[in-house]
Structure 1
Amino acid sequence: MPRRRIPRTGPVLTAVALAALPAIAFVAPAQAVASAPPPAATASAAPVGFVNLPSSPLPTDRTPHRITVTYRNPSSVDRTVAPQILVESPDKGPFLVTSDIRLELLGSDGRWRTVPLGSQTGTLFTGLTTAKIVLHGHHTLTEHYRLTVLAPAHGTVEPRIALYS
């Protein structure tokens, strides 16, 4: 059965929408109205744009490879951003699954921590919700990742920054 590729923003927006469903589904209508955030806070739930960073081929040698994600806030005002790593499968497959790679993030304590990956239509991706940070005006965000291919696979590594209003 042929598979249809979705745009890159699809997995992210779908994940954000699905993450909100359980909270909405289990709140009584009267409570939902009483505790609803102001409209400005609701608007910032989904990214308003992305800054694509240079992509590279997925390494195939099964050794850890470092990926550095760097973004400078060009504005003088604070901005909420979230780094994200996408790993795209080849257009004609075979499609990647989460067990094909291991992605780790270097913590502020110097330890590597495994980053959970989502998967949709051959695209593996890191979540945005837990990666959100407020980046002060004219400051730079730098995150260090380590990617290891665990099974024979081909694809493209595409880091990017999600921008929020």
Structure 2
Amino acid sequence: MRTRKIPRRSLALAAALAALPAALLTTPAQAQTATGAPPVGFVELPASSLPSCHATRAVTVTYRNDASTDRTVAPQILVESPATGPFLSPSSIRLEAQSPDGHWHTTPLASQTGTLYTALVPAKVVLHGHHTLTEHYRITVVASAPVQGTVEPRVAVYG
């Protein structure tokens, strides 16, 4: 009878995948929810002022799905310009998100009528019933001149 050798890498990968909880292997929310469907609401979280020039501030977004069913949500960071201007520019702010492996990655900011914001669609996740979403960000003012504004984290909730 002929036998076949399985490389150790394949065995290690198979063992690692088998050890993962099924919840981590769920299809991404982007594939389950139409990308054009707007959120049905937002959960506003406590706001804070922008840090001073070249200072960094930690921002944590926490949302608990108290329902027993799964819910699609997306954390979002808004940075509001002062009411009297000048409007903030995405190049004045660096926003970083912490990945599950602990590394920090720059998150792009878009701008509309004086508000800087993170995109919702790439941030969508399926949050299982009675689970909590916690996302860590850090925001740094990189502009050479002092800027004013407010950091307003929130969570978009989809139907």
1:148 to 108, 119, 140: 140
Name the residue aligned to 1:71. Answer: 63
Structure 1 gaps of 5+ residues are 1-39
The one-character-per-residue Cα deviations of 1:86-141 (angstroms, maximum 9, x if unpaired) are 00000010110001100000011111000010100110000000000000011000
Q: Write the mapping of 1:1-165 to structure 2, written as runs, cut at 5 A.
A: 42=34, 45-151=37-143, 152-165=146-159
CA contact (8 A) 2:77 2:153 kept: yes
What percent identity do the matched residue pairs reach?
64
Which of structure 1's runs of 4+ aligned residues deviate more than 2 A? 40-44
Change (3 A) 1:41 1:59: closer
Structure 2 gaps of 5+ residues are 1-31
Aligned residues: 126
CA contact (8 A) 2:53 2:142 kept: no
* Distance apart, 1:44 and its partner CA: 7.1
What's the Cα RMSD here?
1.6
CA distance in 1, matches of 2:79, 2:58: 14
The structure in which a higher percent of residues are helix is 1
CA distance in 1, matches of 2:41, 2:105: 27
Amino acid at match of 1:163: V
